[in-house]
């Protein structure tokens, strides 16, 4: 389902790309002032909710205007603790250290969770950032165990890590583009242990995904279903996008970020070329608005009367900052990332003490399921703070 090319819109997009040359650098200190106030409120609200229901461990979104928290097994459970670690890193304020440790520790049981592919999100965003900043050896142990758990979902015949266990009537061995984000946990485990098996699984998954998930224009399918006995591809489509042949905005963002990270970890130029191709698809797309905060799906015929996805923009910005350190187009990537981040700060942040303390508004989670549409979502805030951190140096490390 390809977009109809609107010449006026395409021209406007090209002009917008040219304006990135004059994009202002991000004022991180200024952006952090309201962000800290918001997260202070979100922390206060979350602690109060957890005191009433100890099965809940982290905030996720607003549901009917009310703060929604999740249990540890939810795929979004690690983002809030990761945000606290980023605030500790960005502000150097020790007040963030205790809550960062507290909310990270709540996730410790997930290191043994073999029922999800999302351990990268759950464990690496939390314990990974904690270990990076503190070198706490107990965090190292959790990362290694989580990588072992994730590895159990790998099928050597298909060459990929299984994403979902649900809806067996729809697919046999589904793999979603989001799964690229969980490979960083495996790469890290090899560095921490010297065991190359984690690295080999990550590379196999990245290579197989590159082969089967992408179209000629570098856009990605959301879901690819494999035959686990033969490794053959059974079906390609979507669960959260508009249509099987459309380009779901957050999926394209995961792809950009994931292959940039894979290049960092392997120095395989195939991954760099892939990341650059995905960036080109996103940034020259005629459906991309002038502020570069995309609509939830690039092929939605309701554009411009379609919901935006600030989370996709934050992920893209963070990915572009890292990609800028590797690519010949790095200067333009960095300026574009600055533009996205400045626009998010200026136009997509919550009002003071609004949205129960979430930083960004206007994200879209799962529109086909009529779930989390035009609301704040915790992973948007996580990648926004990560992008702020990366804007200071271009890469995270």
Query: Which residue out of 74, 165, 178, 232 is catalytically annotated?
Result: 178
* pLDDT of amino acid 106: 98
Q: What is the pLDDT of residues 100-129, one digit of tens each?
A: 999 999 999 999 999 999 999 999 999 999
* pLDDT of amino acid 393: 74
Q: What is the pLDDT of residues 194-214, one digit of tens each?
A: 999 999 999 999 999 999 999
Locate 132 and state its tokens.
Answer: 């990076």
Active site residue 297: no
Residue ranges at the known binding site for substrate: 118, 178, 238, 250, 254
Phi, psi torsion values for 226, nearest 5 degrees: -110, 155
Q: Kindly give the pairing relationship between strand 223-226 and strand 173-176.
A: antiparallel
- Identify the helix (H) or strand (E) that includes residue 44: helix 28-52
For the entire predicted model, the pTM comes to 0.94
Give the single-character DSSP code of 235. Answer: E
Average pLDDT, the chain: 94
* pLDDT of amino acid 16: 42
DSSP symbols for 311-377: HHHHHHHHHHHHHTTTSTTHHHHHHHHHHHHHHHHHHSBPPTT-GGG-SB--EEEEGGGTEEEEE-B
The alpha carbon dihedral of 173, 174, 180, 185 has a sign of: negative
CA distance 62 to 9: 33
Q: Please list the residues that pair with 248 across neighbouring strands.
A: 297
* Residue 347 CB contacts under 8 Å (≥ 6 apart), including other chains: 291, 293
- Cα–chain center distance at 277: 18
Average pLDDT over residues 162-171: 94
DSSP symbols for 142-172: HHHHHHHHHHTTEETTTTEE----S-TTT-S
CATH annotation of 1-54+273-397: 1.50.10.10
Q: What is the pLDDT of residues 328-364, one digit of tens each?
A: 999 999 999 999 999 999 999 999 999 999 999 999 9
Residue ranges at the known binding site: 118, 178, 238, 250, 254
Q: In degrees to the nearest 10, what's the CA dihedral of 184, 185, 186, 191?
A: 90
Residue of 179, 309, 171, 317 whose CA lies nearest to 250: 309
Give the single-character DSSP code of 173. Answer: E
* pLDDT of amino acid 20: 38
CA distance 21 to 366: 34
Average pLDDT over residues 65-94: 98
Q: Indicate the burial class of 104 (C-beta count within 10 angstroms; 0-12, 13-18, 19 or more).
A: buried
Query: Which residue out of 53, 74, 118, 300 is catalytically annotated?
Result: 118
Active site residue 165: no
% of the chain surpassing 90 pLDDT: 92
């Amino acid at each position: 389902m390809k977009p109809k090319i609107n010449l006026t819109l395409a021209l406007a997009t090209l002009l917008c790309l040219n304006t990135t040359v004059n994009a202002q650098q991000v004022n991180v200190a200024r952006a952090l002032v309201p962000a800290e106030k918001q997260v202070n409120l979100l922390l206060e609200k979350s602690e109060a909710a957890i005191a009433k229901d100890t099965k809940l461990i982290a905030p996720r979104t607003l549901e009917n205007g009310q703060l929604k928290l999740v249990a540890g097994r939810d795929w979004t459970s690690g983002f809030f603790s990761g945000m606290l670690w980023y605030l500790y890193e960005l502000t150097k304020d020790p007040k963030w250290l205790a809550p960062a440790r507290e909310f990270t520790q709540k996730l410790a049981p997930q290191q043994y969770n073999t029922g999800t592919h999302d351990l990268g999100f759950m464990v690496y965003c939390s314990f990974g950032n904690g270990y990076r900043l503190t070198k706490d050896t107990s965090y190292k142990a959790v990362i290694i165990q989580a990588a072992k758990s994730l590895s159990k979902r790998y099928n050597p015949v298909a060459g990929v890590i299984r994403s979902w266990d649900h809806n067996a009537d729809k697919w046999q061995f589904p793999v979603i583009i989001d799964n690229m984000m969980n490979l960083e946990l495996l790469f890290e485990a090899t560095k921490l242990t010297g065991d190359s098996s984690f690295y080999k699984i990550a590379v196999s998954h990245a290579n197989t995904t590159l082969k089967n998930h992408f179209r000629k224009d570098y856009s990605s399918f959301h879901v690819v279903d494999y035959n686990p006995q033969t490794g053959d591809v059974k079906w390609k489509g979507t669960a959260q996008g508009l249509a099987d042949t459309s380009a779901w905005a957050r999926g394209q963002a995961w792809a950009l970020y994931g292959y940039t990270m894979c290049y960092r970890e392997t120095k395989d130029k195939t991954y760099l070329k892939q990341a650059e191709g995905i960036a080109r698809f996103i940034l020259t797309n005629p459906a991309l608005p002038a502020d570069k905060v995309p609509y939830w799906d690039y092929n939605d015929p309701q554009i411009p009367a379609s919901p935006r996805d600030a989370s996709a923009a934050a992920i893209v910005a963070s990915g572009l900052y890292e990609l800028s350190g590797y690519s010949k187009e790095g200067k333009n990537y960095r300026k574009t990332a600055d533009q996205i981040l400045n626009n998010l700060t200026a136009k997509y942040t919550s009002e003071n003490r609004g949205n129960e303390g979430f930083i960004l508004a206007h994200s879209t989670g799962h529109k086909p399921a009529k779930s989390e549409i035009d609301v704040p979502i915790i992973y948007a805030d996580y990648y926004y703070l990560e992008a702020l951190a990366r804007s200071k140096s271009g890469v995270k490390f």
